[in-house]
Structure 1
Amino acid sequence: MVTVNIRTKSPKAKISRLPSTLEVDSKSTVESLVEALSGVTKLGTERLRLTLIDNTRLIPGTPLEKYDLQDNSIVYVKDLGPQVSWATVFYIEYAGPIFIHLLLYNCQALFYGRTYEHSLMQKTLLIMVLIHYLKRELETLFVHRFSNASMPFLYIFRNSSHYWFLSGVLLGYFSYKPDTRTPLPPAIYYSLVGLWIYAETSNFVTHLILSSLRPKGTTQRKIPFGYGFNLVSCPNYFFESLSWLAVVGITRTWSAALFWLVSTVTMYQWALKKHSKYKREFPGKYPKSRKAIFPYIA
């Protein structure tokens, strides 16, 4: 047993009932320390983040011995505020575009001042959006494994704005308005639909591979191999970008292009971080030839 000092890094971040010291079994896990602090402070375990004086985070599931805690070691506690599960966030994010596209498509008189026959492009877009986001909802329910159990509640609004506004309102409103353009040649139209089907299916396959690497309820990480992963660290992002690029070609709207651009830039940044993390976690083992997201490029 060791007695550690419990602190908050800032006086402004004061936590009510936080003890100044706590006796812990150095052979137990980080969860035991978190649960002990939760019992004293009456805050949920998901709200508490623990770090050491050098900013090393105490990762749940890790033995305390790894951090070499001694008597009088300092453990800093941060209250992350009200939390919500990642799954809940995803359900809310993806439900928005489904609802918005159905509303814009079926309420023509309300949004465009008259009723009219939807073009083939518009019918195709609605089907693509519904399939894409229903796939996302089902993946959240049955496929995805989350390394973090929760996130701050207020992040729901930040994360959802990307999907609800860019993919929902902007993409839908400017794509479902009366379409007077010349339809795409059949060869181009069906090629783009085929590209979209290929990209969506490939994205799903990569999600299955990632899910198989992490047993349910764990934060275990392994080097992914197989479909797409032999070329890039994040083929799921690459195929997602390819899918929305097909939508840009079919709709030929600036709003679709904007959503694709913002999404691709965002996923590229995520991919770079994951690519770097893989290389740090598996030094000397991670394939050097892999790029982050775009095969042979970046």
Structure 2
Amino acid sequence: MASNTISLVIRPRGRPIKNLVESITIERTDPASLVFQKIADASNFSIHRLRITKGSDGSPIQNTKELTVHDTGLRNRSAVDVKDLGPQIAWQTVFLVEYLGPLLFHPLLYYGRPLIYGTSEPPSELQKLSFVMIMLHFLKREFETLFVHRFSVATMPVFNIFLNSGHYWFFAGLNLAFWTYRPTAPTAGPSNPLIMYAGIACFVIGELANLQVHFTLKNLRRPGTQDRGIPRGLGFDLVTCPNYMFETLAWIGIWLTNWSLSMVPFIGFALYYMGQWAKKKERRYRKEFGDKYKRKRYTMLPGIY
């Protein structure tokens, strides 16, 4: 009867990894995640910096407890290649930092109007409304990051945080706040108050529906696993990612009370990136669930995108 204990040959790939061990021993029935843990522990290296692939075909080994070492195809004396992904930062931290920018800039320019714009005039009613909406939106984002979202990938390269944060800190933060709260801003409002009420309705419906979708997505994945189910419920019969659809609706609501062209680049970039993420998710759903999944023609905006 074959021994349950096997030895794996460890090979560096790319940049050298200091203290990388040459081999590890592991049980065939151990979870695949233990391959990552053993290599990290033996090498005094962060587990989140490791990308591990099979030496035979280059396919990635999943860092999961749902598969055993034997399930991955690894056998005694199999070679695995280990790559250093560089310094990492937790995705949760990235999100918290991203959304912090607008939460700092909007109060700064809203309450600092006398100093920044040299005006003693109080903000208009619609400027007040825009301020409340934008603050509620990003406070909701921070709440979801802390208590709702589950991240399938724990970390990202640390240097990417500057690119990710720049979008929110500049376009949704400094840029949007500067033009929204200036004395000559078009937030004196449309002459028809129905437009303002329509904006409020779009914002409230979009934010609440977006939150509901995020709870649906959260409940698809069991804590500590990467397994997902097929999402069903509010908006999922229309598009692949209704969370992006309702996000767009909420920002349309903000724009209807803001009327500032400074919002165009932020919404434009957001639509582009959300659209790309939605397309990738549609492809993943089709590949992962096959015929069980009802394919969507539109991934984000029904009839449009």
- Smaller-chain TM-score range? over 0.9
Contact 1:27 1:65 in 2 (8 A): yes
Using the alignment, how far apart are the partners of 1:196 and 1:271 within structure 2?
21
Instruction: Choose which of 27, 37, 44 in structure 1 pairs with 2:46.
Output: 44
Task: Give the Å deviation of 1:136.
Answer: 0.9
Paired residue type of 1:30: A
Task: Give the Å deviation of 1:27.
Answer: 1.9
Q: TM-score normalised to the size of structure 2?
A: 0.92
Instruction: Choose which of 157, 167, 173 in structure 2 pairs with 1:168.
Output: 173
Task: Give the Å deviation of 1:289.
Answer: 4.2
Aligned length: 296
Paired residue type of 1:55: G
Paired residue type of 1:103: L
Secondary structure at 2:290 match in 1: coil
Structure 2 gaps, min length 5: none
Contact 2:189 2:257 in 1 (8 A): no
Name the counterpart of 2:9.
Answer: 5
Secondary structure at 1:244 match in 2: helix
Name the counterpart of 2:31.
Answer: 29
Secondary structure at 2:293 match in 1: coil
1:166/1:180 Cα in 2 relative to 1: closer, same or farther (>3 Å)? closer
Task: Give the Å deviation of 1:80.
Answer: 2.1
Name the counterpart of 2:90.
Answer: 85
Contact 2:189 2:258 in 1 (8 A): no
Contact 1:247 1:256 in 2 (8 A): no
Using the alignment, how far apart are the partners of 2:233 and 2:53 within structure 1?
36
Name the stretch that deviates more: 266-275 or 106-115. Answer: 106-115
Instruction: Choose which of 53, 56, 60 in structure 1 pairs with 2:59.
Output: 56
Using the alignment, how far apart are the partners of 1:215 and 1:70 within structure 2?
29
Name the counterpart of 1:70.
Answer: 75
Instruction: Choose which of 202, 216, 219 in structure 1 pairs with 2:226.
Output: 219
Name the stretch that deviates more: 255-264 or 210-219. Answer: 210-219
The equivalences for 1:198-209 within 5 A come to 198-209=205-216
Contact 1:97 1:164 in 2 (8 A): yes
Secondary structure at 2:291 match in 1: coil
Contact 2:217 2:231 in 1 (8 A): yes
Paired residue type of 2:208: T
The equivalences for 1:251-290 within 5 A come to 251-289=258-296
Paired residue type of 2:59: T
1:291/1:66 Cα in 2 relative to 1: closer, same or farther (>3 Å)? farther
Instruction: Choose which of 82, 99, 102 in structure 1 pairs with 2:104.
Output: 99
Q: Deviations over 1:106-152 (max 9, x none)?
A: 11133223332212221111101111011111111221111112222
Using the alignment, how far apart are the partners of 1:180 and 1:97 within structure 2?
18
Q: TM-score normalised to the size of structure 1?
A: 0.94
Secondary structure at 1:146 match in 2: coil
> Percent sequence identity over matched residues?
37
What is the root-mean-square deviation of aligned Cα atoms in Å? 1.7
1:180/1:3 Cα in 2 relative to 1: closer, same or farther (>3 Å)? closer
Contact 1:245 1:260 in 2 (8 A): no
Structure 1 gaps, min length 5: none
Task: Give the Å deviation of 1:22.
Answer: 2.5
Using the alignment, how far apart are the partners of 2:240 and 2:223 within structure 1?
22
Secondary structure at 1:254 match in 2: coil
Name the counterpart of 2:142.
Answer: 137
Name the stretch that deviates more: 171-180 or 189-198. Answer: 171-180
Name the counterpart of 2:189.
Answer: 183
1:290/1:221 Cα in 2 relative to 1: closer, same or farther (>3 Å)? farther
In the TM superposition, structure 1's runs of 4+ consecutive aligned residues that sit over 3 Å from their partners are none
